[in-house]
Structure 1
Amino acid sequence: MTAVEAPPSAPEVLARCRELVRPALRDAVGRLHPWVAEMAGYSFGWCEVGGAPVAAPGGKGVRQALAVLGAEAAGADGRAGIPAAVAVELVHAFSLLHDDIMDGDPTRRRRPTVWKAYGTGPAVLAGDALFALAVETLATGPQGAGAVRLLSAALADLVRGQADDLVFATRPCTGPQRVTPEEYRAMAEGKTGALLGCAAALGAVLGGADETTAGTLDRAGRHLGVAFQLVDDVLGLWGDPAVTGKPVGGDLRERKKTYPVLAALASPAAHGLPELLDAPGRAEEAAALIEAAGGRTAALAEARAHTAAARTLLARAPLAAGAAGDLFRLLDHLVDRRL
């Protein structure tokens, strides 16, 4: 009797998709000005400052995987989704370069951020170049005009979500002007979910999917994005910096209204939390009170609710079985990351 081969794990799916996309991504970055290409390579973990090759840990390649799996879900070869994968990965890298500047984050993935390594102006320039390259990648590929429209709409939502995230930090913790959970969900869908949904939808479109299937993948990706952001919020407060690559408590020091904070503030057990949040040197105490008030539990429950919504959407769509299975495993893996 022939043994039944086990389906690939989520890390194996991510690795397969990264390997498929990497040559095209490197070729695209190689078309940039050499100095800008070096900064981009540094941001991807390909080189050190100065250009010396290095095997630094890069990102997980979630958006790349969603684009490849979107094409496969439409019944095409995963290579059909490569232009979408390259474009969304370039936009993601652009957004991270600018996000690190706006947040003042000195490290990412256990290395100095691009603005710390090269300077603020060069980092802004590198981000702009990556965005322009993403548009060029889609515009010169199959279904160029429609693909660029999808990416542009996602980028508009991303900017809106990022703007909300920054504005939320200036709003009070209590009272009528406080940030609500509904506002948080809209922010997270824009900041994180828009590009995840776009990746899956773009891959599907390039793979020949109809508008309805692409739209379903987009909505599922947006739910995944909210769940992903919620887990990031939890990791930012209680994760291991050796695993996350970012310092614990950074969101609290930046006065970000993350979901654990919002959930805790709504609890009677959070007495004194607003005062702690206004004291940057007391982030550790604030994190402990947020957890005691149920903020961590509430955030993880909300993340799993959005994952369930994404699974329901995918289950109803006419997707190729193998790719659908990979998408389901990827959903669970991203929400159950080590905390």
Structure 2
Amino acid sequence: MTAAEVTSPKAIALQALDRARLLTEPSLREAVDTLPGSIRHLVGYQFGWWNATGRTERVAAGKALRPTMVLLAAEAAGADATAAIPAAVAVELVHNFSLVHDDVMDGDAMRRHRPTVWKVFGIGSAILAGDAMLNLAHEVLADSGHRHATEGSRMLSAAVTELLEGQCDDLAFEQRDDVQLAECLRMARRKTGALLECGTGLGALFGDGSAIQIERLRSFGGELGLAFQFVDDVLGIWGHESRTGKPVHSDLRSRKKSLPVVAVLSSGSPAGRKLAQAYQDGRKLTDEDVAMLADLIDSAGGRDWCLTQASALLERAMASLHAAAPAARLEELRALASFVADRDR
């Protein structure tokens, strides 16, 4: 690997993600070990620490994006990353709570290249595992002894409320044929942006940042979170299974009203009308059907529009970031933001 490759934004971002995993996983495991045995087993499976029978294994885990952003935000505020480890663990627990419940609600059988919790252990057990992670997140903050623990718990609760509202809207969209783009944007900002905004805010809070630093880092996280969702929705249609852990065209197979889909549906164009007919038709979509719909959305501009929006959001996120702290503290956050918004390329 050349010196340029080592210092590329992607390399810096990947190194930051690896560092955050090393810092947070011991505390995350310690927290999960406090759970009752049966629930601990389910949660450990979700994190990829062991298989369905409890045998230790190491499978591809999540990117650890959210805990990484928490720790980097604490450093941006001028603190050592270790000051925000409880906040990072809490955010990662909430994120996985939402993933487990999302998989149940969406009926997704695969995540991270392996069967989802509900698919292995049943819907009821998966719901309980998610509930346990949400409760544990607040326990981790309360037990941290940090002087901002109470304020942090309130911040996290507010983010969870927004996340749930976004998820509720997302489910409601499945039953509607008149979803507007502005509604879809609000849903995405709540469902995805809220927790990333909270994560950078919590990092700055536990890093004893000033009120203005907390505000600007929260803004950075929120804008980046929405950019993340735009790219995620692109990957949900055109992403390869080797990268996403889900079958190609998975969002179209389930007729999910994601951002590129709603952009075309609400365009008033012939492509939008054709897409609407396919979404309203109750028959099961074949491989040929979903491939045709993906091409239709692409040719109608849905994919390019999403990537353009993600780029604009990244610019706004960067502006907030640069106003939050000296540039010397921001290299990893800048690299991570670029990596998040560039996953489709």
Note whether the superposition's TM-score is higher than 0.5: yes
Q: Does 1:168 align with 2:168?
A: no
Map of 2:105 onto structure 1: 102
Q: Does 1:54 align with 2:57?
A: yes
Q: 1:85 aligns with which of 58, 83, 88?
A: 88
Map of 2:304 onto structure 1: 297
Map of 1:215 onto structure 2: 215
**Which segments of 5 or more consecutive residues in structure 1 lack a partner in the other structure?**
173-177
TM-score norm. by structure 2 comes to 0.92
Q: Does 1:334 align with 2:340?
A: yes
Give deviations 1:176-201, integer Å, cap 9, x for gaps: xx222221221111101111111111
Q: 2:32 aligns with which of 15, 21, 29?
A: 29
**Matches of 2:320 and 2:327 in 1, distance apart?**
14
Letter aligned with residue 279 of structure 2: L
Q: Does 1:325 align with 2:331?
A: yes
By how many angstroms is 1:254 displaced? 2.7
Map of 1:175 onto structure 2: none
Aligned to 2:55, what secondary structure does the other structure show?
A: coil
Root-mean-square deviation (CA, aligned residues, Å) is: 1.7
Map of 2:235 onto structure 1: 235
**Matches of 2:135 and 2:274 in 1, distance apart?**
47
**Matches of 2:126 and 2:94 in 1, distance apart?**
14
Taking structure 1 as reference, are residues 82 and 117 closer, same or farther at Cα in structure 2, changes over 3 Å only?
same
By how many angstroms is 1:283 displaced? 2.1
- Give runs of aligned pairs for residues 58-69 of structure 1, distance below 5 A: 58-69=61-72
- Give runs of aligned pairs for residues 258-277 of structure 1, distance below 5 A: 258-265=258-265, 266=267, 268-270=269-271, 271-277=273-279
Give deviations 1:268-319, integer Å, cap 9, x for gaps: 25152211223441222211111111110011111111111101111122x2
**Matches of 1:329 and 1:180 in 2, distance apart?**
33
**Matches of 2:251 and 2:239 in 1, distance apart?**
12
Letter aligned with residue 149 of structure 1: R
- The question of whether the paired residues in 1 share the 8 Å contact of 2:231 and 2:344 is answered with no
By how many angstroms is 1:267 displaced? 5.7
Aligned to 2:53, what secondary structure does the other structure show?
A: coil
**Matches of 1:277 and 1:237 in 2, distance apart?**
14
TM-score norm. by structure 1 comes to 0.94
- The question of whether the paired residues in 1 share the 8 Å contact of 2:234 and 2:344 is answered with no
- The question of whether the paired residues in 2 share the 8 Å contact of 1:68 and 1:78 is answered with yes
**Which segments of 5 or more consecutive residues in structure 2 lack a partner in the other structure?**
none
Aligned to 2:307, what secondary structure does the other structure show?
A: helix
Give deviations 1:100-156, integer Å, cap 9, x for gaps: 000000000110000001111111111111111001011222122111100001001
Aligned to 1:54, what secondary structure does the other structure show?
A: coil
Aligned to 1:208, what secondary structure does the other structure show?
A: coil
Map of 2:249 onto structure 1: 249
**Matches of 1:128 and 1:31 in 2, distance apart?**
15
Taking structure 1 as reference, are residues 311 and 137 closer, same or farther at Cα in structure 2, changes over 3 Å only?
same
Map of 2:149 onto structure 1: 144
Q: How many residues align?
A: 331
Q: Does 1:153 align with 2:158?
A: yes
**Matches of 2:215 and 2:254 in 1, distance apart?**
35
Letter aligned with residue 335 of structure 1: A
